[in-house]
Structure 1
Amino acid sequence: MRVDKYLWCVRYYKTRSIATEACKKGHITVNGQDAKPSREVFPTDKITLRKDQINYVLTVLDVPQNRVGPKLVDIYRKDETPAEAFEHLELLKLSKEHYRTKGQGRPTKKDRRDIDDYTTEPGENEEPTE
């Protein structure tokens, strides 16, 4: 089975054309080599793909006849993605929402002063006393 069709069948990509584009861009490797969309996949092959800033590592257990349901995906692949990759993604999400949540607009005057106080060193903004 073609690698783009396999990744579509085991639900890593929503459409085959998206899987094909990922292959053409070099996001997918099979056994350490860049894979063209037409590359054949066999059991025991290791597939590495980059999607949503995560490097997924898969081992092909079997080749499905056509697209399978989400509950049956584990029959056809073994996911060996390290847990640190998912933790890194969570950290990225949290760092984006650290200060302001999305949709709050520009910082207020008080927010701006708090940012300035945070970025300057203590005693830098104080007026000299006589």
Structure 2
Amino acid sequence: MRIDKYLKNARIIKRRTVAKEACEQERVTVNGKLAKPGTEVSAGDEIHVAFGTGSMTVRVLKTPETVRKEEAPSLYEIIE
């Protein structure tokens, strides 16, 4: 699954366009490498997102195409 879509589905970033912009501004890394909006992620990958005031590192647990709001936190585990 594309990183921009995953960040939106997991509710880490609210909108896909914002997730795409974060990737283009080099604020997202996957396994230590800068991510483009089309970078593929799968279970086991580590994603680091730098927000305006802080940052978050998560490990991907699963990548379903559609997710209900209540299920979103089960898609990842927070490392930092």
Contact 1:8–1:67 (Cα < 8 Å) also in 2 = no
What is the DSSP-based 3-state SS (H/G/I as helix, E as strand, rest coil) of the residue aligned with 2:26?
coil
**1:80 pairs with 2:48:** no
Q: Give the aligned length.
A: 80
- Unmatched runs of 5 consecutive residues or more in structure 2: none
- Specify which structure has the higher proportion of helix: 1
Larger radius of gyration: 1
- Unmatched runs of 5 consecutive residues or more in structure 1: 82-130
- Specify which structure has the higher proportion of strand: 2
Q: Percent identity?
A: 34
Pick closer, same or farther for the CA change 1:49–1:14 going to 2, 3 Å: same
Amino acid in the other structure paired with 1:76: L
4+ residue stretches of structure 1 with deviation over 6 A?
Answer: none
Instruction: Answer 1 or 2: higher relative contact order, Cα 8 Å, separation at least 6.
Output: 2
Query: What CA deviation, in whole Å up to 9, does each residue of 1:26-65 have, x standing for no partner?
Result: 0000000000000000100000001132110000000022
Two-structure CA RMSD over aligned residues (Å)? 1.1
